[in-house]
Chain A
Amino acid sequence: MKKLNVIIIVLDGLRNDRIDLCPKLLNILNKGAFFSNMITASPYTLAAFNSIITGLYPSKHGVDSYFNMFKFKRNVCKTLFQYLHNNGFYTEANLVSDSIIPHEGFDTIRAHDEYNDDLIKLHKDIISNASNKQFFLLLHYGNLHTNGIINVAKKYNDFSKEFFDNYETNKKNYNFWLKNLDLYVKEIYGHLESSGLLNNTVLVLLSDHGTSNGEKIGERMYGSFTYDYTIKVFCSFLIPGINGKEISFQTRTIDIMPTILDILKIDADESYEHLQGKSLMPFIEGKEKDDRIAFSETGGLYGPWPSHHEHNVFCVRLKKWKLIYNKTPNTWEMYNLENDPEEKNNVFDKNKKLASELQKMIFGHIKSNEENVIY
């Protein structure tokens, strides 16, 4: 097998339902195994990134709240970068902040200046400089986050009437920011194509979480709730020799890391926490044809029930149904996602039998992440 490089590009904060407003991105996603219904383990960058690079839910890897951002469980979790570094890859990350993920396994990890740097030029240079060796790069496109901080987070709070009364304006502003994102993806892809690197590089494009446009009072950006506008994401794997196709079964961001190990034929290290995600290759090979059960969890910095040191909002999502557990006020919400994709009509009290089954799943998820079941 020829030596493959890996590039992961994370498009921070890109909503699943706006991909079609990014024609160049959509075109590129369709060149790969495009998982168009993926659920993030957590709808904010700190926890989401660590789940992507470990294949674990937040309580397993330790970054399970904003204030636990430095509590990654180094002794028991092995990151994708450690795996690839141990296998001879040159590893580099360029991020909005170098505090987002642990530094183990990196040859180089740097933060860019999100307000001033030209990310297209910077990331093209990083790719060119790495290309004389087998490499693994993590490139973070954070301009949606930056625009959100400047135009939303710094102007409004999670209950600002002016923001939540103007959904259409918020949506228009967010959609406008997508133009730069689309250009960025086109330029980086073009650079890979013209340099011949696509022939021996696995390119992984994904979003880590979505962003509110003012759908629900109490969340002006993300991280307070687990509604679909922040937990629905996507991921496409452009693998040399494998034709593109859209795969619409529900999958999870914790499945990304095991998939990359599978593509590279690297065995999971059993002396670390066992992966909770599973390779997506069976979908690509047409052997798996069912939606995976997904969990997502968060704890807001602000919002109606902020929780700085532990997650207190959990959900389980099936293709058609979602159950949300708001642990702090101890409330439940259940939605039929087919009939009610905007999650406005809580049917928790109307289908007790299903609600009970989904409750068991959520409690099982919480328990399995608190305890070490295979100790």
Chain B
Amino acid sequence: MEVGLLTNSSKISLSIPQDLAKKLQKRAEEKGFKSLSDYVTYILRQVLSRIETAENQKEGYSEKKEEEVKQKLRDLGYLE
């Protein structure tokens, strides 16, 4: 799997086709982003978040998770 070159300790570079980059650059400017990297990262964060939310919804809100929340709310005195 290609992961690109390490450019500093917290980020890596990835390759995308030039024509796609041009389209994204145009959109980034329209939306007021200062850099293409920020815009692409922003989109990827949103997409990842939606994928994970959809997966969680598919799994369902388990009784275990629900009970964990209820216990925390009881600990805080909110739930009877």
Chain A interface (Cβ < 8 Å from any Cβ of B) = 66-67, 69-70, 73, 75-76, 96-97, 99, 145-146, 149, 153-154, 223, 269-272, 301, 372, 374-375
Cβ-defined contact, B48 with A75, below 8 A: yes
Return the 3 tightest CB-CB contacts between A and B, nearest first.
A149-B77, A271-B41, A270-B38
For the A-B complex, the count of residue pairs with Cβ-Cβ distances under 8 Å equals 57
A-B residue pairs in contact (CB < 8 Å), sample of 28: A66-B69, A66-B73, A67-B66, A67-B73, A69-B69, A69-B72, A70-B65, A70-B68, A75-B45, A75-B46, A75-B48, A75-B49, A97-B75, A99-B72, A145-B77, A146-B77, A149-B76, A223-B78, A269-B38, A270-B33, A271-B41, A271-B42, A271-B45, A272-B42, A301-B79, A372-B46, A374-B32, A375-B46
With A and B bound together, what is the CA distance between A270 and B36 in angstroms?
10
Bound-state Cα–Cα, A76 to B32, Å: 18
Tell me how far the C-beta of B40 lies from the nearest C-beta in chain A, rounded to whole angstroms.
8
Q: Are A271 and B48 in contact (CB under 8 A)?
A: no
Q: How far is the CA of A195 from the CA of B56 in the complex (A)?
A: 49
- The answer to whether the Cβ of B64 comes within 8 Å of any Cβ in the partner chain is no
When chains A and B are docked, how far (Å) is the Cα of A99 from the Cα of B41?
Answer: 28
Quick one: closest B residue to A269, CB to CB? B38
Given contact pairs A97-B72, A99-B72, A76 touches B77 in the complex (Cβ within 8 A) = no
Residues on B with beta carbons closer than 8 Å to the beta carbon of A272: 42, 45
A116, chain B: closest CB distance, angstroms: 14
Q: Which residues of B contact A269 (CB under 8 A)?
A: 38
- If A75-B49, A271-B41, A271-B42 touch, does A301 touch B78 (CB 8 Å cutoff)? yes
B52: chain A residues at CB < 8 Å are 75
Q: When the two chains form their complex, are residues B31 and A374 in contact, meaning their CB atoms are under 8 A apart?
A: yes
CB-CB under 8 A from B65, the residues of chain A are 70
Residues A271 and B49 in contact, CB atoms below 8 Å apart:
no
CB distance from A310 to the nearest CB of B (A): 13
Known: A67-B69, A149-B77, A301-B73. A270 touches B46 (CB 8 A): no
In the complex, A223→B73 CA distance in Å?
A: 13
Residues of chain B contacted by A76 (CB below 8 angstroms)? 45-46, 49
State in angstroms the CA–CA spacing of A145 and B76 once bound together: 9
Taking a contact as CB atoms under 8 Å apart, the answer to whether A96 and B49 are in contact is no
Contact check, A70 vs B77: say whether CB atoms are below 8 A apart: no
Given contacts A271-B38, A374-B31, contact A154 B77 (CB under 8 A): yes
Cα A375 to Cα B39 with chains together (Å)? 9
Tell whether B8 is near chain A: CB-to-CB under 8 Å: no
The reply on B21 being an interface residue by CB < 8 A is no
Chain B residues within an 8 Å CB radius of A75: 45-46, 48-49, 52
Chain B residue nearest in CB terms to A154: B77
Q: Judge whether B43 is part of the interface by a CB distance below 8 angstroms.
A: yes
A271-B43 Cα distance, complex, nearest whole Å: 8
Chain B residues near A271 (CB, 8 Å)?
Answer: 37-39, 41-42, 45
Considering the complex, give the chain B residue whose CB is closest to the CB of A267.
Answer: B34
